Structure 1
């Protein structure tokens, strides 16, 4: 008990992030804290354990033997603490709970309205906090317990992360009507010769469309890469730009009075859109309710 009095939970979370990332800056990103704050936490941890924990060798940071010995017991302790704090029962009608989700613009547009309608009716005391991040960052946040649920496409995941398919989805291209032939159909050569818009968290990202093109030895010109779905649609009118996105995202566009949807002249495999969570949450009644609420809200 005396040892517990000397170290708080925030320091344990900082230690966990530092052990995983082996880098102060990356740990600060995981924790959503400033780099100086994490550096200060590292200094406190070094003093507490009387060990440097992280040392530089061959140009990179490495864990000391003491730090290595802390990885598993710390993970087990955090998992146990998470289970201790989870309610044995969950009554959504009276529950007071805050869930942390990571959703893209796409998911926010097609799922969030239905999800919030469901929550306001079924669980008025439940609050939702939403962030947006890359696929890699979301997985890291799930592993570290910073997120309850992440939505996206997850082709490869650590064994600790579980997934459930919310729906299956295909692609559609969108362009200004005035820039298309009368029937609104473009040949593959014409489609490839046009400038394209790509919605991605990083400008250099490789998405499902790029992978489909690459597999056929083809390439398109990305004239605009941006992370915002709504802006990607709004730049189309009056231009020769083409945006290729998931079909459900384009289903209710008001701007389609001036825009036209058409099938891309290339085979792009459909994808499974999923919700992902850490397996430590599998049996948490509140989390089970949240996953079911998300599944319900995702149906057309």
Structure 2
């Protein structure tokens, strides 16, 4: 067993940064260290743990199996040390800290503007870094400590994860208004006769819209599959394509005469948009503060939000 007195525990902070960034230069910037210092620390870590930990691969460093095993326990241990050694409370006005969030472009559209305004107003020294991943990827990043919070629609979560519902969401359809002139919407037959745009950030999973259509005895013809929502409305203009997506993402188009936004012509269950985090950060005062800010924005309690979340 290694004697802790002989180990520089700062090496664990370096390992955390390397596992998150997977790049020596970016880890050095994150730690405010020189690149040679980080390279030297990685060499010491390899010797200490008798493992290569990170090896060069396409686009950066690739964690070894041993490094993957260490990621979760390392994040948990460092989170507890930071709580232990940090201040007893969190002072937003004077805090200097960064938080890492994961969300889709839909989540960013719905919550990020209001959240950033709230953070900048009360905690100008707080920085937010936002990344995107599949649902499974976001859960894994939270579990491994690569991100602090994730926002999205999640299946039952694994042990060690916590969640809070932010709002209930429903679906709506959008088409070019010229293609439904005099009707304003499509019935089931017309809906299924057209081709569709599918927005999905995950492969292999049955899309909830397709599942509902199948339950009604139909099947959509998908003309275009996108990994993000933001460009989807532009694909509808001037075509007979149909976009079926979260209603909030279409709020800005409901008063646009170029488009028709209407209820789906079949039963389509809504979904709960949630915030998730790991048990190990439950008692962290800074993360508790940030979670409360996210909840307040979702509830419409932060002034000046561009998109109403009370729909």
Query: Where does 1:83-122 land on structure 2 (aligned, <5 Å)?
Result: 83-84=83-84, 86-122=86-122
Query: What count of residue pairs does the alignment treat as equivalent?
Result: 275
Query: Where does 1:265-280 land on structure 2 (aligned, <5 Å)?
Result: 265-280=265-280
Cα distance in 2, alignment partners of residues 7 and 125 from structure 1:
24
Gaps of 5+ in 1: 15-27, 54-61
Structure 1 residues 7 and 117, CA gap change in structure 2 (3 angstroms): closer
In the superposition, the TM-score normalised over structure 1's length comes to 0.78
Cα distance in 1, alignment partners of residues 161 and 230 from structure 2:
30
247-256 or 140-149, which moves further after superposition? Answer: 247-256
Structure 1 residues 46 and 215, CA gap change in structure 2 (3 angstroms): farther
**Residue 235 of structure 2 corresponds to which residue in structure 1?**
235
Structure 1 residues 88 and 296, CA gap change in structure 2 (3 angstroms): same
Cα distance in 1, alignment partners of residues 120 and 71 from structure 2:
40
Q: Secondary structure at the match of 1:229?
A: coil
Cα distance in 2, alignment partners of residues 72 and 99 from structure 1:
17
1:138 aligns with 2:138: yes
Cα distance in 1, alignment partners of residues 134 and 144 from structure 2:
15
Cα distance in 2, alignment partners of residues 277 and 50 from structure 1:
32
CA contact (8 A) 1:87 1:286 kept: no
In the superposition, the TM-score normalised over structure 2's length comes to 0.76
Cα distance in 1, alignment partners of residues 190 and 263 from structure 2:
13
**Residue 23 of structure 1 corresponds to which residue in structure 2?**
none
1:210 aligns with 2:210: yes
Structure 1 residues 3 and 169, CA gap change in structure 2 (3 angstroms): same
Query: Where does 1:166-181 land on structure 2 (aligned, <5 Å)?
Result: 166-181=166-181
Cα distance in 2, alignment partners of residues 222 and 43 from structure 1:
51
CA contact (8 A) 2:46 2:52 kept: yes
* Among 2, 5, 8, the residue aligned to 2:8: 5
Q: Describe the superposition over 1:111-166 as per-residue Cα deviations: whole angstroms up to 9, x where unpaired.
A: 11111221121111111111111111111110111111110001221121111111
**Residue 123 of structure 1 corresponds to which residue in structure 2?**
123
Structure 1 residues 101 and 77, CA gap change in structure 2 (3 angstroms): closer
Shift of 1:217: 4.4
Q: Describe the superposition over 1:52-88 as per-residue Cα deviations: whole angstroms up to 9, x where unpaired.
A: 99xxxxxxxx979xx98x8997576345335335542
CA contact (8 A) 1:203 1:226 kept: no
Q: Describe the superposition over 1:254-289 as per-residue Cα deviations: whole angstroms up to 9, x where unpaired.
A: 883201101111111111100111111112111111
Query: Where does 1:35-54 land on structure 2 (aligned, <5 Å)?
Result: 47-50=47-50
Structure 1 residues 72 and 118, CA gap change in structure 2 (3 angstroms): closer
CA contact (8 A) 1:166 1:272 kept: yes
Structure 1 residues 161 and 215, CA gap change in structure 2 (3 angstroms): farther
Structure 1 residues 83 and 214, CA gap change in structure 2 (3 angstroms): farther
Gaps of 5+ in 2: 25-38, 54-63, 300-308
Cα distance in 2, alignment partners of residues 183 and 241 from structure 1:
16
Q: Secondary structure at the match of 1:235?
A: helix
**Residue 294 of structure 1 corresponds to which residue in structure 2?**
294
Q: Secondary structure at the match of 2:252?
A: coil
